[in-house]
A and B are shown apart, each in its own frame.
Chain A
Amino acid sequence: MGKNKGNYKRIILQEGFSVLSLALFSFIILEWLWPNSVLGYLNLNLLLLIWLAIGILLLVMNKKNK
């Protein structure tokens, strides 16, 4: 049960990280093409921090699993 829970977490974080990477990339492109189109509504710094935190968490989890 505990192992399954940990597995779910890892899947969610892994998928979240992938889609967040894609989102960050697309938002930066959008902001580059049309300034203020993203930054006018969303703080990309915050999104970048979340992305970084998830990435570090995934690295830590992978290391523990090994």
Chain B
Amino acid sequence: MFCLLLSVIYNITMKKGLIFKVRLVFIIIWLLALGFFLFKTIVPNGSIVYKTNFSKEHRFIGSLTPVERVEKMDQGRKITGDPVYFSLYYPRHFEEAELKIKYKWLNDDKQIFSVGMLADNRLWQYYLQPMENTVIEDLLSDWHVTQENDTYFLQKEKQFNSQAEFLNSDFNKSELALYNLTSQEIGLTDYVLPVEQKEQIIPLTLETALRGHHQFFVYHSKGDLKIDLRIQDLNQNGDYDPVDLILYFQDKIILNSFLEDDNNNTDDGRVSSIRDLNLQASNLPEGLYKVEIRVNDDIVIKELKSSSNYLIFTNGIRLAPGASNVTIYTNRDYLRATTVNPGSIQEVKFGGEVLGLTKTYRQHYWVLEDKVPVWNKVVLDKTGIMLSNDGLFTFNQSTAFDPEVTQLGIETDMENINYIIARYQSIRREGDWNIAQANFDLYRAYYKDNKYNFMLSIPGLSHRSEAGLIIDSIEVELKGKGLWEKIKETIKE
């Protein structure tokens, strides 16, 4: 049939003159080009791949920024600082992105390399997925390994036949480390505070002012669970500054309280009056609750009141300027400190060491030489500093508690760890190069002007001189519904 049609067209064409023939050829080329562009825009099969090796500007995968952390190489780009960002332009909406990066390490043997997708533009929150964890990569060949779906269970000495058998046993939590998993995800939801500590639970008032987004665990035993905030809007950026106070139980939102912006969306610096935001829940079961204060950096939490003094901040704490002689405790032996406030430059006492916070807008990274598994004291003469690590922070050592299973990081002391459960995809090797991949659910992504934003995270890379990550290429496959599926869906509706 097709051949017949072709022969008819051929016969008609042959009878026509030169002008017609030439015109026909050009029109066919034009239509083919138009069809190609439309195909690449509509993506009727539901999947498209973009790949860059940085040899020339790519119209879909943006360049790596900031330029201060990226060096041009003959082959690829060398990343010397953390983090590094790039954007991805998409022609239409997709559901999933599969990111593949070909890279190699330079003068570095212990690293955690993750890729994050911007999920919340206001709070600058990235949804992180692991690319390579060199600690796990090494242990995969040294320890006993069992794999179930995308989860690895590693044992220093083989004691259990499976992860399920291990979790059902009476294991010691301090011997376990998790990676890319939370305690809840492996079913460890039953944290109980020792009885003698439970008896000491009293209400807490924290008068040291905090700035911006924070989250903390609070142990609730009886009565009502109450969180009261006194907040102030600095109006130093022109964004909308609402306050969302969210209560989680076993990783699920159970209650929230919301406070609108102070009706000043400008950056005029006019500080708002102090306003109150409360959250109260009755008849809650005893246990560990997580509270998130979801705000941007314009909001200062002048006072925090809680019905329980067993309250512990996770991942970091940002102290607003104005207070002096503040003591904080963290259960990690490393600390990142940053200040944007010239008046906050000082000597910080961390553990038994005195360390210099010497520059503004620069992340200082300190690791204690004497590693002891206790709460390390951080003494600050002045506030106006952001402190962070992957551990916990408290203002009172006597009510400090650690409900979390250790998260495996490059600074984790492996001596006491005998078991690791990790949601992880092992890297592939191609000669000198490593190939790692991560999948992202694009429904969670923030997008603007048809662009998604990604971040390459290599914690601590900036602090290791001569170290770097050489990226040969970045490949992104976008997957979604095909044209035929969309048509079928529309007809069904």
Q: Which residues of A contact B (CB under 8 A)?
A: 8, 11-12, 15-16, 18-20, 22-23, 26-27, 30, 34-42
Asked if B326 CB lies within 8 Å of chain A CBs, one says no
Give 1 or 0 for each of B25-63: 1 = CB within 8 Å of chain A CB. Answer: 011011001101110110000000000000000011000
Q: How far is the CB of A32 from chain B (nearest CB, A)?
A: 12
Asked if B315 CB lies within 8 Å of chain A CBs, one says no
Whether B91 contacts A41 by the Cβ 8 Å rule is no
The docked-state distance in angstroms from the alpha carbon of A38 to that of B37 is: 6
Q: How far is the CB of B319 from chain A (nearest CB, A)?
A: 44
Partner of A11 from the list B19, B29, B36 (CB cut-off 8 Å) is B19
Contacts of B18 in A (CB 8 A): 8, 11
Decide if the interface of chain B is mainly helix, strand, loop or mixed.
helix
Known contacts: A23-B33, A35-B450, A36-B89. The answer to whether A30 contacts B26 by CB under 8 A is: no
Whether A15 contacts B40 by the Cβ 8 Å rule is no
Q: How far is the CB of B34 from chain A (nearest CB, A)?
A: 6
6 contacts between A and B (CB under 8 A): A18-B23, A19-B23, A19-B27, A40-B59, A41-B37, A41-B59
List of 3 A-B pairs having minimum Cβ-Cβ separation, nearest first: A19-B26, A37-B41, A40-B59
Q: How far is the CB of B449 from chain A (nearest CB, A)?
A: 9
* Nearest neighbor of B33 in chain A, beta-carbon distance: A23
The docked-state distance in angstroms from the alpha carbon of A58 to that of B33 is: 24
Known contacts: A23-B33, A34-B91, A41-B37. The answer to whether A15 contacts B19 by CB under 8 A is: yes
Whether B38 contacts A22 by the Cβ 8 Å rule is no
Contacts of A8 in B (CB 8 A): 18
Partner of B23 from the list A15, A30, A36, A37 (CB cut-off 8 Å) is A15
Q: How far is the CB of B89 from chain A (nearest CB, A)?
A: 6
Partner of A37 from the list B19, B27, B30, B40 (CB cut-off 8 Å) is B40
Contacts of A38 in B (CB 8 A): 37
The docked-state distance in angstroms from the alpha carbon of A37 to that of B26 is: 21
* Nearest neighbor of B29 in chain A, beta-carbon distance: A19
The docked-state distance in angstroms from the alpha carbon of A41 to that of B38 is: 11
Q: How far is the CB of B11 from chain A (nearest CB, A)?
A: 22
Whether A22 contacts B30 by the Cβ 8 Å rule is yes
Q: How far is the CB of B262 from chain A (nearest CB, A)?
A: 37
* Nearest neighbor of B17 in chain A, beta-carbon distance: A11
Asked if B22 CB lies within 8 Å of chain A CBs, one says yes
Contacts of A30 in B (CB 8 A): 34, 37-38, 41
Contacts of A22 in B (CB 8 A): 30
Whether B91 contacts A36 by the Cβ 8 Å rule is yes
The docked-state distance in angstroms from the alpha carbon of A30 to that of B34 is: 9
Contacts of B19 in A (CB 8 A): 11, 15
Partner of A15 from the list B22, B36, B89 (CB cut-off 8 Å) is B22
The docked-state distance in angstroms from the alpha carbon of A12 to that of B24 is: 11
CB within 8 Å of A: which B299-354 residues: none
Give 1 or 0 for each of B391-425: 1 = CB within 8 Å of chain A CB. Answer: 00000000000000000000000000000000000
Contacts of A23 in B (CB 8 A): 30, 33-34
Q: How far is the CB of A46 from chain B (nearest CB, A)?
A: 13
Whether B40 contacts A26 by the Cβ 8 Å rule is no
The docked-state distance in angstroms from the alpha carbon of A15 to that of B41 is: 28
Q: How far is the CB of B424 from chain A (nearest CB, A)?
A: 34
* Nearest neighbor of A38 in chain B, beta-carbon distance: B37
Whether A36 contacts B59 by the Cβ 8 Å rule is yes
19 new A-B contacts, CB < 8 A, other than A23-B33, A36-B91, A41-B40, are A15-B19, A18-B26, A19-B27, A23-B34, A30-B34, A30-B38, A30-B41, A36-B59, A37-B37, A37-B38, A37-B41, A37-B91, A40-B40, A40-B60, A40-B89, A40-B91, A41-B37, A41-B59, A42-B37
